[in-house]
Amino acid sequence: MDLLIGADGLARCGWAGSTADYLAYHDVEWGQPVRDDDALFERLTLEGFQSGLSWLTILRKRPAFRAAFDDFVIDKVATYDESDVERLMADAGIVRNRSKINAAINNAAAARDLPDGLSAFLWSYAPEPGRPRPQSFAEVPASTPESTAMAKDLRKRGFRFVGPTTAYALMQATGMVDDHLADCYVAVKKRPRKATRGGGR
Q: For CA atoms 61, 63, 67, 69, give the dihedral sign.
A: positive
Residue of 15, 25, 123, 185 marked catalytic? 25
For the chain, report the end-to-end CA distance as a whole number of angstroms.
40
Q: Is 22 a catalytic residue?
A: no
What's the pLDDT tens digit per position in 128-182?
887 889 999 999 999 999 999 999 999 999 999 999 999 999 999 999 999 999 9
Report the largest interatomic distance among the alpha carbons of the chain, rounded to a whole angstrom: 69
> Which residues, 6 or more positions from 157, have their beta carbon under 8 angstroms from its beta carbon?
110, 113, 114
The CA distance from 173 to 14, in Å, is 16
How is domain 33-177 classified at the CATH fold level?
Answer: Endonuclease III; domain 1 (1.10.340)
Q: What are the binding residues for Zn(2+)?
A: 13, 26, 180, 184
Half-sphere exposure for 191 (CA within 13 Å, toward CB): 13
- Quote the CA–CA distance of 138 and 199 in Å, as a whole number: 43
User: Considering the chain, what is the average pLDDT of its residues?
Assistant: 93
Compute the distance between CA of residue 81 and CA of residue 61 in angstroms, rounded to an integer: 23
Q: Is the dihedral of CA 126, 53, 11, 36 positive or negative?
A: negative
Q: What is the pLDDT of residue 194?
A: 55
Determine the Cα–Cα distance for residues 117 and 81; give it in Å rounded to an integer: 23
- β-strand 3-5 against 11-13: which pairing, if any? antiparallel
Residues annotated as binding site?
13, 26, 180, 184
The catalytically annotated residue of 15, 42, 47, 125 is 47
Work out the pLDDT band at 199, boundaries 50, 70, 90.
very low
Which pLDDT score, from 0 to 100, does residue 191 have?
73
pLDDT value, residue 201: 33
Please write the tens of the pLDDT for every residue from 58-92: 999 999 999 999 999 999 999 999 999 999 999 99
> Is 139 annotated as catalytic?
no
Domain regions of the chain by residue span: 33-177
Residue 55 bears catalytic tag: yes
Residue 200: the pLDDT is 39
Q: What are phi and psi of 113, to 5 degrees?
A: -85, -5
Q: pLDDT value at position 91? A: 98
pLDDT at 22: 96
Encode pLDDT of 23-37 as tens digits.
Answer: 999 999 999 999 999
pLDDT in tens, 97-114: 999 999 999 999 999 999
pTM, two decimal places: 0.92
Catalogue the long-range contacts made by 195-198 (C-beta closer than 8 Å, 24 or more residues apart).
Answer: none
